[in-house]
Amino acid sequence: MQKGIFERYWWGYAYLLLIAGTVVALDQGTKIWVRDFLTVGEAWAPWEAISDYVVIVHTWNTGMTLGILKGTNGLFIAISEIVCITILLLFPRLVHQRNIIFIGLGLGLILGGAAGNLIDRVAIGYVTDVFLITNFPVFNLADVSIILGAIVLSLVLIFDQREPEQN
């Protein structure tokens, strides 16, 4: 029985880290590309048909979305670290009681997004934002990942009403 528990968490962590790693790779790839090919403030519209609504732009911030808490990079480094550590520590407890596929997806997206922005904050001192959609603040893939992960996790926690497994 112990082997089954170990295997469940081993594969669960592998799944969680695969999702998080994919998010980090895609997020960092887009940010590196933008920093290498666009100057700060420069925009590029790769899709002419929707260029009035969606553009790639090189911006950055040291706070959070909409410029809130600008200049508090250290605070967000600490918050990101706490989020990443908490996800890694609480993962076994959550998957013990819920659907491992959806819990892993939600937490993996949040972990990847938090880690992606944490890398920027630690390595270059700010977060690079990339995408501008009309009527939205500029954002990056890490931001989208955190939001999608929170939605998935919320839906699982609300609608998956399983009873905790007995040991």
Catalytic residues: 129, 143
Whole-number Å distance between alpha carbons of 19 and 8: 17
Token pair listed for 19: 């999702």
d(CA 16, CA 106): 9
Cα distance between residue 70 and residue 85, in whole Å: 24
Separation CA 39–CA 35 (nearest Å): 7
Give yes or no for a contact between 31 and 130, defined as CB atoms under 8 angstroms apart.
Answer: yes
Q: Could you give the 3-state DSSP secondary structure of residue 92?
A: helix
Contact 126, 120 (CB under 8 A): yes
